[in-house]
Amino acid sequence: MPEAELLAGCEVDHIISRKHGGLTDSANLALSCERCNRAKGTDVGSVVGPEQAFVRLFNPRIEEWSEHFQLTGATVESKTDIGEATVRLLRFNSPDRVLQRQVLQQVGAYPIR
Ligand SMILES: [Zn+2]
């Protein structure tokens, strides 16, 4: 999401929370919107699939967004288990967020190129 479109802007988030031993250094920090950061909390992963296997969340420092997600219309779809855990836990497709993406798409402001 373009930072300019966020009321609260972005904030720096620990990818692996300090609670789980994550360090406060650039390799473990990412710029996050407030909503994603609040939804993530101190989580480092979630469970997916019928076997409820634990998978870690997407790490923007070591992975490409397009490996794990695709944009279909204004909905972020997962392509992998990591993507699925991240989409669900961070609530990427809550109705208001999809609507926000739709509006930004209509004015050419999403996705960022
Ligand atoms: Zn976000």
Tell me how far the alpha carbon of residue 112 lies from the centroid of ligand 1, in angstroms: 13
- 13 domain-assigned: yes
What are the CB-based long-range contacts (under 8 Å, 24+) for 14-17? 15/57, 15/59, 15/60, 15/61, 16/44, 17/41, 17/42, 17/43, 17/44
For the chain, the domain total comes to 1
Asked whether residue 2 is domain-assigned, the answer is no
- Among candidate residues 71, 106, 100, the one with its CA nearest the CA of residue 5: 100
Q: What is the pLDDT of residue 65?
A: 96
Does 100 reside within a domain?
A: yes
pLDDT in the model for residue 2: 78
Assess if residue 22 is contained within a domain: yes
Q: From the CA of 104, how far away is ligand 1's center (Å)?
A: 14
Q: Does any domain span residue 88?
A: yes
pTM: 0.91
Beta bridge partners of 46: 55
Segments of the chain with pLDDT less than 70: 113
Helix extents (H) in 31-92: 34-40, 65-68, 81-89
Please tell me the distance between residue 90's alpha carbon and the centre of ligand 1 in angstroms. Answer: 8
Return d(Cα 25, Cα 99) in angstroms, integer. 34
16-43 pLDDT tens trace:
999 999 999 999 999 999 999 999 999 9
Ligand 1 ion local residues (Cβ < 5 A): 33, 36
- Give domain status of residue 111, yes or no: no
Q: Is 1 inside a domain boundary?
A: no
